[in-house]
């Protein structure tokens, strides 16, 4: 039954490689989402600043 164990070891090694690759993919995905989140934060700040400008315009108009 020595051959069986060798085959099993190879299978586990392949499985380990697959999981490592998957982990890398998830890490990249996480980084992408973080970058997206930062972009949305900046967008929100920009809109808030624009909103304040709009309020000033209203005050000046009165």
E strands along 1-62, which residues? none
Reduce the DSSP state of residue 48 to 3 states and report it: helix
Digit-coded pLDDT (tens) for 6-57:
999 999 999 999 999 999 999 999 999 999 999 999 999 999 999 988 887 7
Q: Which two tokens stand for residue 47?
A: 């809109």
Q: Does the model's pTM come out above 0.85?
A: no
Neighbour count for residue 8 (Cβ, 10 Å): 10
The Cα–Cα gap between 42 and 50 comes to 12
Q: Terminal CA-to-CA distance of the chain, rounded, Å?
A: 91
């Amino acid at each position: 039954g020595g051959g069986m164990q060798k085959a099993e070891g190879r299978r586990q090694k392949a499985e380990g490689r697959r999981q490592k690759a998957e982990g890398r993919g998830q890490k990249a995905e996480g980084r992408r989402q973080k970058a997206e989140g930062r972009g949305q934060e900046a967008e929100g700040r920009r809109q808030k600043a624009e909103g304040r400008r709009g309020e000033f315009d209203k005050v000046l108009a009165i």
